[in-house]
């Protein structure tokens, strides 16, 4: 008679764990995806301006590359959060 | 090694009649970087004028233009030609005088003929276009003109028309346009014109030809094909000349370029009526060599003096001084910016760290070997200086990839027969995935450690750069500010270590607590942090807003793990789709459709890995170099040095 609730409880725990894993995966996906979109939007304008500036004067390549990749930090943070969530 | 090659400023003065000898000697030595003389630039050069070119400058320039024009006709590119033998300068001078005019004449005759033929083809095509509308009307072309009492209209109309006056009309309905020919007596001209205008008439020229339209079209088509055939023959002849003379032409170009550069050198010197003065830069170890050579060439009738260098105002040209294994990385430096003369040259560090980062990211024996083969195979096609350097960078990077591939135990996404020596990056993809899975936290810590050390190195170099370049109070402040950045970074770390235990990092959490919840290391950390911030603010208070970059720059090194893992994931997914899903199930019971699936699997495998390799080069290369440019260089490196380009030419096709 005791077995049934215990078995049910085990199934419940397993289910809960599984759903927690799912939520974690979802969170990780959102962390990378949304930050990726953010970085993309930010880099869009900088990138086009950078290409224009480089076309006018090649010497600024190093500087504009720096400016272009500044927003990448956002997606790196997202990625770190995602990796910490999953592993 | 860590600094550019040392340069000395030389002043050369001699009488004008020795100018040719001096220029020739300097050109031959290929060491003297000329500082261009600018009129009225400095007070000590008052009364000096820019020199005039030596004799023969105009002729050489004209010849050079001719040679380049011929090379252009033949589409010869000197880059692509590998000289079998080098022609001697003296032979070449004679050959330029005798052979070049003949070749020029021959080429001009051929290209002239070709141009005339092409013009003829255009003209004939125009005539055919004029006749074509009349082709479907059953009239000879000579019936359209030459009347004194009739008028002929020919052209396109929107619709058919009915003309009230006496006339003869041909109407031809077309798809988009309708063609009409009307012959009417001269006195009814106005009436016919009016009717035609109503139908939006567009006149066409009546061709001055005789015979049926078709026969004329055939005649002109015949002429066009004959001309085309002749052009082909001319092309064959031009190709023949190209084969025969390509090497001679590039050698000519080289000789003439030398001559033009030499004869025009006085335009960069300061001159008076009788003397000339040249200023420029020579690597310090070659000063004696250049001085001696000049004295020998002029018989001692020259004044050469080493001037003192004013590092604040002189822009000293920069030549790298690196051991041979680090030379390819100079290309990566030039893409960013050449170091200033007074600055530390980080090429050596880039040449060591870049391949390590690349290997850590790609880390796959299979891809590494493919890249290694590629870097050797492409040598035939990329012969330029930069191309060769790029391939050498690629070679070093691929060797590093193989090394780390062995450590990671990875080959095209499969595991090698041993378990990973370093942290595992094997993901659990596919139905029978076993094992531990990737050790992501450990890899992340590794990346963070790399970042911490790399950034600290950058800051230390920054201190050294400020110590070399700045003076007075600013120097101390700048050095302390850099030390402050290091203090803040390690201070934050000390605080974190005292609060959270982390794998592969010092654990200070067990130390007894002294004040509030802080133990001794945490207190040291806080002191370092505060002191660091003060040092930074002393140099420039605005820098305080940059403090968060300490964290973001260190975390940025996580990309070494992230990009690497994504590359592993793609490789494993390709293997799973190609082998696990397409090939393996079919091998159990082979059918005809099964063979098709297997072929498909092989295709997926090849295309997938080719794509992943391309992504691997991009990801590995770009992210590694970005970590240098953004995270490393911003700590100490400005760049903006002037390239050392000595007067002279590296000859490829000729010799003195």
A-B interface: how many C-beta pairs under 8 angstroms?
47
- A50-72 mean pLDDT: 82
CA-CA distance, B276 to B298, in Å (whole number)? 14
Does residue B502 sit in the same domain as residue B580? no
What digits encode the pLDDT tens for the residues B18-64?
888 899 889 888 899 998 888 666 777 778 888 888 888 888 888 88
Would you say residue B459 lies in a domain? yes
Other Cβ atoms within 10 Å of B318 Cβ, number: 24
| pLDDT of res. B453 | 96
Would you say residue B47 lies in a domain? no
| pLDDT of res. B354 | 95
Residue A4 has pLDDT above 70, yes or no: no
How many domains would you assign to chain B?
3
Would you say residue B348 lies in a domain? yes
Using a CB-CB cut-off of 8 Å, the residues of chain B touching A83 are 440, 444, 558, 561-562
Domain that holds residue B205: 131-219
| pLDDT of res. B471 | 85
Taking Cα atoms as reference points, which of B198, B189, B186, B134 lies closest to residue B161? Answer: B198
Distance from CA of A1 to the nearest CA of B (A): 38
Q: Find the DSSP H helices in B318-411.
A: 329-336, 347-362, 365-377, 385-408
**Closest residue in chain B to residue A74, using alpha carbons only:** B552
Taking Cα atoms as reference points, which of A46, A44, A31 lies closest to residue A77? Answer: A31
**Which of B219, B247, B276 is the last residue before a domain boundary?**
B219
| pLDDT of res. B169 | 85
Residues of chain B with pLDDT under 50: none
Using a CB-CB cut-off of 8 Å, the residues of chain B touching A61 are 335-336
| pLDDT of res. B533 | 95
CA-CA distance, B264 to B54, in Å (whole number)? 7
Of residues B10 and A65, the one with the higher pLDDT is B10
Distance from CA of B558 to the nearest CA of A (A): 7
> What CATH class has A3-86?
mainly alpha
Please list, in sequence order, all residues whose beta carbon lies within 8 angstroms of the beta carbon of residue B165, skipping any fewer than 6 positions away.
Answer: B184, B185, B188, B191, B192
Calculate the alpha carbon distances from A67 to A47, A54, A70, B459, B463 in Å. 8, 12, 5, 20, 24
Contact B555 A83 (CB under 8 A): no
- A12-37 mean pLDDT: 90
Q: Which of A59, A62, A80 sits opposite B558 (nearest CB)?
A: A80
Strand partners, B305: B11
Would you say residue B329 lies in a domain? yes
Q: What is the ipTM of this complex?
A: 0.74
Contact A76 B555 (CB under 8 A): yes
Chain A residues with at least one Cβ partner in B under 8 Å:
59, 61-62, 65-66, 69, 72-73, 76-77, 79-80, 83-84, 86-87
Chain B residues with at least one Cβ partner in A under 8 Å:
335-337, 438, 440-441, 444, 552, 555-556, 558-559, 561-562, 626, 629-630, 633-634, 639-640
Residue A2 has pLDDT above 70, yes or no: no
Q: What are phi and psi of B204, to 5 degrees?
A: -115, 155
Does residue B462 sit in the same domain as residue B550? yes
| pLDDT of res. B618 | 82
Would you say residue B162 lies in a domain? yes
CA-CA distance, B128 to B221, in Å (whole number)? 8
Does residue B541 sit in the same domain as residue B611? no
**Closest residue in chain A to residue B639, using alpha carbons only:** A62
Contact in structure between B230 and B220 (CB atoms under 8 Å)? no
**Which of B219, B244, B262 is the last residue before a domain boundary?**
B219
| pLDDT of res. B407 | 93
Distance from CA of B630 to the nearest CA of A (A): 6
Please list, in sequence order, all residues whose beta carbon lies within 8 angstroms of the beta carbon of residue B381, skipping any fewer than 6 positions away.
Answer: none
Other Cβ atoms within 10 Å of B244 Cβ, number: 11
| pLDDT of res. B652 | 75
Contact B552 A76 (CB under 8 A): yes
- A5-11 mean pLDDT: 79
**Which of B200, B219, B238 is the last residue before a domain boundary?**
B219
Of residues A7 and B458, the one with the higher pLDDT is B458
Would you say residue B535 lies in a domain? yes
CA-CA distance, B457 to B486, in Å (whole number)? 9
Does residue B460 sit in the same domain as residue B481? yes
Question: What stretch of H or E contains B281?
Answer: strand B275-283
Calculate the alpha carbon distances from B275 to B10, B16, B18, B26, B502 in Å. 17, 5, 9, 17, 75
Using a CB-CB cut-off of 8 Å, the residues of chain A touching B561 are 83
Q: Which of B337, B440, B556 sits opposite A62 (nearest CB)?
A: B337
CA-CA distance, B322 to B344, in Å (whole number)? 12
Would you say residue B251 lies in a domain? no
Using a CB-CB cut-off of 8 Å, the residues of chain B touching A72 are 556
Distance from CA of A69 to the nearest CA of B (A): 8
């Amino acid at each position: 008679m005791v077995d049934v609730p215990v078995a049910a409880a085990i199934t419940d725990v397993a289910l809960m764990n599984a759903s927690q894993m799912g939520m974690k995966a979802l969170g990780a996906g959102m962390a990378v995806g949304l930050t990726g979109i953010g970085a993309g939007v930010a880099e869009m304008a900088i990138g086009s301006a950078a290409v224009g500036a480089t076309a006018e004067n090649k010497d600024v390549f190093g500087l504009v590359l720096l400016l272009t990749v500044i927003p990448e930090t956002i997606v790196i943070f997202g990625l770190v959060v995602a990796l910490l969530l999953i592993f | 090694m860590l600094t550019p090659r040392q340069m000395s400023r030389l002043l050369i003065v001699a009488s004008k009649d020795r100018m040719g000898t001096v220029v020739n000697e300097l050109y031959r030595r290929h060491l003297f970087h000329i500082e261009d003389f600018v009129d009225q630039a400095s007070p000590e050069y008052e009364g000096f004028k820019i020199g005039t070119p030596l004799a023969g400058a105009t002729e050489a320039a004209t010849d050079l233009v001719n040679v380049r024009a011929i090379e252009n006709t033949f589409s010869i590119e000197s880059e692509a030609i590998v000289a079998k033998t080098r022609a001697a300068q003296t032979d070449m001078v004679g050959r330029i005088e005798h052979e070049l005019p003949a070749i020029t004449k021959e080429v001009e005759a051929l290209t002239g003929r070709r141009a005339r033929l092409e013009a003829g083809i255009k003209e004939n095509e125009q005539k055919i276009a004029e006749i074509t509308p009349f082709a479907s009307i059953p009239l000879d072309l000579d019936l359209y003109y030459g009347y004194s009492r009739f008028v002929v209209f020919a052209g396109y109309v929107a619709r058919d028309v009915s003309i009230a006056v006496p006339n003869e009309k041909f109407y031809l309905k077309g798809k988009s346009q309708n063609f009409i020919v009307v012959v009417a007596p001269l006195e009814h001209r106005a009436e016919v014109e009016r009717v035609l205008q109503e139908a939006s008439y567009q006149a066409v020229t009546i061709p001055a030809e005789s015979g049926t339209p078709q026969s004329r079209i055939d005649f002109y088509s015949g002429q066009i094909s004959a001309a085309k055939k002749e052009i082909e023959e001319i092309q064959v002849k031009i190709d023949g000349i190209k084969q025969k003379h390509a090497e001679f032409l590039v050698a000519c170009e080289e000789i003439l370029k030398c001559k033009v550069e030499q004869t025009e050198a006085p335009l960069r010197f300061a001159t008076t009526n009788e003397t000339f003065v040249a200023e420029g830069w020579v690597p310090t170890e070659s000063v004696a060599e250049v001085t001696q050579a000049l004295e020998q060439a002029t018989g001692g009738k020259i004044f050469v003096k080493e001037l003192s260098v004013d590092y604040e105002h002189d822009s000293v040209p920069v030549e790298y001084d690196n051991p041979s294994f680090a030379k390819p990385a100079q290309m990566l430096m030039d893409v960013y910016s050449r170091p200033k003369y007074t600055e530390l040259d980080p090429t050596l560090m880039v040449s060591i760290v870049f391949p390590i980062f690349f290997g850590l990211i790609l880390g796959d024996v299979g891809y590494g070997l493919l890249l290694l083969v590629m870097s050797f195979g492409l040598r035939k096609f990329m012969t330029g200086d930069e191309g060769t350097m790029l391939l050498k960078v690629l070679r070093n990077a691929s060797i590093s990839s193989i090394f780390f591939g062995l450590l990671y135990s990875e080959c095209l996404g499969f595991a090698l027969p041993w378990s990973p020596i370093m942290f595992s990056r094997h993901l659990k993809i596919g139905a029978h995935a076993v094992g531990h899975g990737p050790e992501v936290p450990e890899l992340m810590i590794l990346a963070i450690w790399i970042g911490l050390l790399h950034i600290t190195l950058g800051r230390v170099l920054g201190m050294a750069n400020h110590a070399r370049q700045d003076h007075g109070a600013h120097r101390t402040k700048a050095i302390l500010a850099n030390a402050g950045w290091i203090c803040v970074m390690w201070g934050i770390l000390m605080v974190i270590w005292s609060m959270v235990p982390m794998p592969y990092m010092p654990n200070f959490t067990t130390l007894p607590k002294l004040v509030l919840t802080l133990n001794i290391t945490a207190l040291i950390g806080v002191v370092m942090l505060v002191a660091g911030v003060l040092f930074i603010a002393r140099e420039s208070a605005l820098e305080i807003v940059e403090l968060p970059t300490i964290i973001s720059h260190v975390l940025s090194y996580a990309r070494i793990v992230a990009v690497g893992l994504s590359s592993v994931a793609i490789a494993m997914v390709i293997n799973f789709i190609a082998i696990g899903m397409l090939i393996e199930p079919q091998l159990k019971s082979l059918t005809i459709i099964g063979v098709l699936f297997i072929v498909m699997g092989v295709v997926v495998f090849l295309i997938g890995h080719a794509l992943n390799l391309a992504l691997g080069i991009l990801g590995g290369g770009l992210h590694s170099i970005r970590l240098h440019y953004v995270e490393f260089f911003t700590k100490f490196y400005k760049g903006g040095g002037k390239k050392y380009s000595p007067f002279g030419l590296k000859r490829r096709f000729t010799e003195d």
